[in-house]
Amino acid sequence: MNLYSPIDWTFDILPEHNKYLTFLKKVFRHEFRKNWFRRISTPLLEKREFIEKAFLVNDSIIKEWDFDLCQNPSLSILRAYLENDMKWEIQPVYYYYMSQYYIKEANSNIKAMQVIWAEIIWENDPILDAIQLYMTYTVLNKIWLKNKFIVKINSIWIEKEKAKYREELLSFYENKKHILSSESISLLENDPMLVLNSINEDEIILNSSAPSISAKFLKKDSKEHYSKFKAYLDLLEVPYKEDHTLVWENNFQTNSIWKFISNTWKIIWKGSRYNALSKSIGELKEVPAVWFYVDTSVLIDLLKENNIELKNKDKIDLFFVQLWDEAKSVVLPLSLKAREAGINTVVSLWTPSMKEQMLKAGRSWARYVVMVWIMEARNGIFQVRDMFDWTQSEVKKEELIEYIISKIWKDNLDFYSPERDLMM
């Protein structure tokens, strides 16, 4: 066992990955704010009894206690909504969630995911389903992934309609069990709709001929909801494909369901309406709700596969190297002034070797390196090296900051200040 490896079902988010993750969060925050979403954060842990009541299973991750990791943020967000009487706010409410959470996969492995999640609660209008899907479509196009995915939609309707559909599926599969895997045969006993999720090639071909729920089991309200959902997508000019094999793992999903699938058949995005969840946890009436989520790791992989590079917000314009305390006392206050002037600046104050400091400067890809020895500290004339052109100049101490600004251009200065931008 490697002492330094993380727990099997967790992972480190290293700087290169974090660069993409931060980018996605910023893009989505902007889109969420434009659409009236507010951020919500909920605990990773919920009471086990509450989780089991919602999902009707005892599939705990933490065995010893009366609480467990919640494997679906929608459940926690709905609980927070009901617990804090948010139904007295202007309805519907719009929330977004950005955090890590954990799921138990079909093979019982636990998987950690860094997700971006959105919820709209307390309205059953299919225009909200279409708006959520449109937001996703818009973001993917904005981040240079246009034509790199397809949108699939379906409707899995209400429980009464699903019950009749399950009977039809059982009849369809009855004389075809020899084609099904042992896993799919076991699913027939619990919920034959889940067989439609199969990624087995033979079963995918078989499922394409399976009966469609929309063909004969839909009642008036369900037909109208799906019809309006598609009409709004057409109005928003979102291309989609209807797929009657698109179903969900949980029984509380109702009506609209959609997935964004990459050209390499990876699921980028999922979304659906889940009106039935509230009654499963004890509410007398359904609380209409619709959600979507993205696994950011999948989306980041897609960006990298398509060679989409991000600007380096951590680029270094100015790197100070120095020797001895007298030089340090000159460099430290000057480096602070450079940062105040908007120059991205690094100063190596703790390394005794000039050679090591120059190696650091080179590895940081700094544009300009200022070298200060005791003589430079005393006479106020510094050696400034352009690390790209490999030229060197002498610059007076009092002229250094303006000299660097003239070289990197004022448009490239960094004056970002969250306290100044956000505080009133």
pLDDT at 257 exceeding the cut of 80: yes
CA distance 187 to 174: 13
Contact criterion met (CB below 8 Å) for 251 and 232: no
Mean pLDDT over all residues of the chain?
A: 91
**Alpha-carbon distances of 61 from 74, 104, 111, 172, 291, rounded to whole Å:** 18, 8, 11, 36, 24
Q: Would you state the pLDDT for residue 378?
A: 96
Q: What is the tens place of the pLDDT at every residue in 201-236?
A: 999 999 999 998 776 777 899 999 999 999 999 999
pLDDT at 421 exceeding the cut of 70: no
Q: What is the tens place of the pLDDT at every residue in 268-279?
A: 999 999 999 999
Q: What is the tens place of the pLDDT at every residue in 24-67?
A: 999 999 999 999 999 999 999 999 999 988 886 667 777 778 99
- SS3 string of the chain? CCCCCCCCCCCCCCHHHHHHHHHHHHHHHHHHHHCCCEECCCCCEEEHHHHHHHHCCCCCCCCCCCEEECCCHHHHHHHHHHHCCHHHCCCCEEEEEEEEEEEECCCCCEEEEEEEEEEEECCCCHHHHHHHHHHHHHHHHHCCCCCCEEEEEEECCCHHHHHHHHHHHHHHHHHHCCCCCHHHHHHHHHCHHHHHHCCCHHHHHHHCCCCCHHHHCCCHHHHHHHHHHHHHHHHCCCCCEECCCCCCCCCCCEEEEEEEEECCCCEEEEEEECCCHHHHCCCCCCCCEEEEEEEHHHHHHHHHHCCCCCCCCCCCCEEEEECHHHHHHHHHHHHHHHHHCCCCEEECCCCCCHHHHHHHHHHCCCCEEEEECHHHHHHCEEEEEECCCCEEEEEEHHHHHHHHHHHHCHHHCCCCCHHHHHCC
Mean per-residue pLDDT, 64-75: 90
Q: Would you state the pLDDT for residue 275?
A: 94
Contact criterion met (CB below 8 Å) for 129 and 235: no
pLDDT at 141 exceeding the cut of 90: yes
Q: What is the tens place of the pLDDT at every residue in 380-395?
A: 999 999 999 999 999 9
Q: Would you state the pLDDT for residue 76?
A: 96
Q: Would you state the pLDDT for residue 366?
A: 94
CA distance 215 to 197: 19
pLDDT at 107 exceeding the cut of 80: no
Q: CB burial class (10 A; 0-12, 13-18, 19+) of residue 407?
A: middle
Among 83-87, 95-99, 118-122, 364-368, name the one with the lowest average pLDDT.
Answer: 83-87
Q: What are phi and psi of 339, to 5 degrees?
A: -65, -40
Q: Would you state the pLDDT for residue 143?
A: 96
Q: What are phi and psi of 327, to 5 degrees?
A: -70, -40
Could you tell me what percent of the chain has a pLDDT over 70?
96
CA distance 202 to 211: 17
Mean per-residue pLDDT, 147-172: 90
In the block, tokens 């059953």 appear at 124
Mean per-residue pLDDT, 273-298: 94
What is the token pair recorded at 284?
């007398």
Q: Would you state the pLDDT for residue 390?
A: 92
Among 29-38, 361-370, 406-415, name the one with the lowest average pLDDT.
Answer: 406-415
CA distance 293 to 119: 9
Q: How many CB atoms lie within 10 A of CB 155?
A: 29
List, in order of start, the domains of the chain with CATH numbers.
Answer: 15-158+219-305 (3.30.930.10), 318-422 (3.40.50.800)
Q: Would you state the pLDDT for residue 195?
A: 94
Identity of residue 69: L
Beta bridge partners, 151, equal: 260
pLDDT at 85 exceeding the cut of 90: no
Q: Would you state the pLDDT for residue 153?
A: 97
Q: What is the tens place of the pLDDT at every residue in 3-27?
A: 888 887 788 999 999 999 999 999 9
Peptide bond into 92 cis (omega under 30): yes
Q: Would you state the pLDDT for residue 250?
A: 74
Model confidence at 349, pLDDT cuts 50, 70, 90, reads confident
Kindly list the strands in the beta sheet with 368-372, ordered across the sheet, starting from the edge strand earlier in the chain: 345-347, 318-322, 368-372, 381-386, 391-396
Q: Would you state the pLDDT for residue 313?
A: 75
Q: Would you state the pLDDT for residue 281?
A: 92
CA distance 92 to 424: 28
What is the token pair recorded at 21?
């993750």
What count of residues does the chain have? 424
Global pTM reads 0.88
